């Protein structure tokens, strides 16, 4: 089997890829993640997923490189990672009572065959109407400062939602495993057939 490499420094993406029980390496891509002028959210995450994978692909002759990127979109505004508790509070106040679409870009590069498979996986979240105190308590408890949309759905963040809609709940955390296993199968890696 070719070397499998996750082009990410995210512990959440590693946690998700661990579910597939495949041996892999991980490396942190160093790319500029700024959107281009007038770039639409889906185009942004697809481009960044590809660029992350390409940044790592140069280091391997025979590997399958996985890149991923995610943004949250609410009222046509892209919400990135807040970085501070104040910004997380502001984001959650904005999201309170609203429907938010999370777009996750996934790119898989086969360096041996020089192929790229890339998709964008949407996932919709309906937020509960949240009080200032609920938001403050949540941000203080979970510190979701490096998460798009200021929450961790795999933790206490699940209490922020009324409803989740999408094909793959893993995409909400940052790596659409259903699509990834389909792409890996086309690359000769059957997750259910590996020992």
pTM: 0.89
Tell me how far apart the alpha carbons of residues 122 and 165 are, in angstroms, rounded to a whole number: 9
**18, 32, 69, 190: the active-site residue:** 69
In this predicted structure, what is the pLDDT of residue 68?
A: 96
Q: Residue 32 belongs to a domain with what CATH number? A: 3.90.950.10
Is the distance from CB of 82 to CB of 144 less than 8 angstroms? yes
Name residue 120's beta-bridge partners.
105
pLDDT tens, position by position, 97-112: 999 999 999 999 999 9
What is the count of structural domains for the chain? Answer: 1
The residue whose two tokens read 């500029």 is: 32
Q: Which residues, 6+ apart, have CB-to-CB distance to 41 below 8 Å?
A: 71, 73, 78, 103
Q: Which range marks the domain in which residue 33 is found?
A: 3-193
pLDDT tens per residue, the chain (195 residues)?
A: 789 999 998 888 999 999 999 999 999 998 998 889 999 999 999 999 999 999 999 998 899 999 999 988 998 888 878 999 999 999 999 999 999 999 999 999 999 999 999 999 999 999 999 999 999 999 999 999 988 788 888 889 999 999 999 999 999 888 999 999 999 999 999 999 866
Q: Helix/strand/coil (H, E, C) string of 115-133? A: EEEEEEEEEEEEECCCCHH
Pairwise CA distance, residues 114 & 120, whole Å: 20
69 is catalytic: yes
CA atoms of 148 and 173, how far apart (whole Å): 9
């Amino acid at each position: 089997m070719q070397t499998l490499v996750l082009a990410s420094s995210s512990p959440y993406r590693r946690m998700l890829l661990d579910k597939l029980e495949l041996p892999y390496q991980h490396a942190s891509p160093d790319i500029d993640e700024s959107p281009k002028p007038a770039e639409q959210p889906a185009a942004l995450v697809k481009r960044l997923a590809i660029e992350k994978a390409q940044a790592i692909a140069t280091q391997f002759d025979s590997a399958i490189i996985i890149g991923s990127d995610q943004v949250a979109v609410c009222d046509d505004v892209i919400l990135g990672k807040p970085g501070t508790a104040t910004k997380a509070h502001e984001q959650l106040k904005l999201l309170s009572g609203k429907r938010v679409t999370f777009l996750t870009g996934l790119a898989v590069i086969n360096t041996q065959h020089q192929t790229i498979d890339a998709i964008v996986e949407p996932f919709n979240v309906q937020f509960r109407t949240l009080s200032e105190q609920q938001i403050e308590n949540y941000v203080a408890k979970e510190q979701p400062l490096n998460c798009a949309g200021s929450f961790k759905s795999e933790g206490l963040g699940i209490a922020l939602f009324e409803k989740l809609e999408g094909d793959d709940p893993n995409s909400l955390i940052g790596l659409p495993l259903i699509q990834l296993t389909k792409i890996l199968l086309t690359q000769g890696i059957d997750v259910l057939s590996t020992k």
